[in-house]
Structure 1
Amino acid sequence: MLRFPTCFPSFRVVGEKQLPQEIIFLAWSPKRDLIALANTTGEVLLHRLASFHRVWSFPPNESTGKEVTCLAWRPDGKRLTV
């Protein structure tokens, strides 16, 4: 059995979501209820955290390629860097 030190907050699972592609990167917005996901096909998705409603998606294309290597939010949460 895995035991964590008491300094870690305890979380409970409130839901589960199956996605068609494996997620390789994710980043939570520091200021908004948004989560950015990158999958193995190179697609970048932006979802609302609570409802998992898709806000937008950015498919890979010839100029960007299919390999996402990093996702990062600007500290104010207004921009996402891929």
Structure 2
Amino acid sequence: MLRFPTCFPSFRVVGEKQLPQEIIFLVWSPKRDLIALANTAGEVLLHRLASFHRVWSFPPNENTGKEVTCLAWRPDGKQLTVS
């Protein structure tokens, strides 16, 4: 069993989502209620954090390929970089 030091806050599960593809990367926006996800199919998805409502999705194509290697938010949370 994995145990954390008492200096970490305790979290409780408030929801669970099943997705059709395995998620390989996820990053929370540092300033907004957004979460960016990349899956094994090469899609990049942007969802609201609390409701998990999809804001947009970016499917793979012949120019971008099907492999996402990194997701990163700009520190102000206004731009998402995908490689």
- TM-score strictly above 0.5: yes
Q: Using the alignment, how far apart are the partners of 1:30 and 1:78 within structure 2?
A: 9
CA distance in 2, matches of 1:68, 1:2: 30
Distance 1:23 1:6 in 2: 29
The sequence identity of aligned pairs, in percent, is: 95
Stretch of structure 1 that moved more, 51-60 or 4-13:
4-13
* Cα distance per residue 1:9-52 (max 9 Å; x no partner): 11000000000000000000000000000000000000000000
> 1:2, CA displacement in angstroms?
2.5
Which ranges in structure 1 are unaligned for 5 or more consecutive residues? none
Normalising by structure 1, report the TM-score.
Answer: 0.98
CA distance in 2, matches of 1:2, 1:45: 30
Once residues 29 and 51 of structure 2 are traced to their aligned partners in structure 1, the CA distance between those partners, rounded to angstroms, is: 15
Task: Indicate the SS of the match to 1:36.
Answer: strand
Cα distance, 1:3 vs structure 2: 1.7
Counterpart CA distance in 1 for 2:70 and 2:81 is: 8
Q: Report how far residue 8 of structure 1 moved.
A: 1.0
Structure 2 unmatched ranges of 5 or more: none
Q: State the SS of the aligned residue for 1:72.
A: strand
1:66 Cα deviation from its structure 2 partner:
0.3
Please report the TM-score for the alignment, with normalisation by the length of structure 2. Answer: 0.97
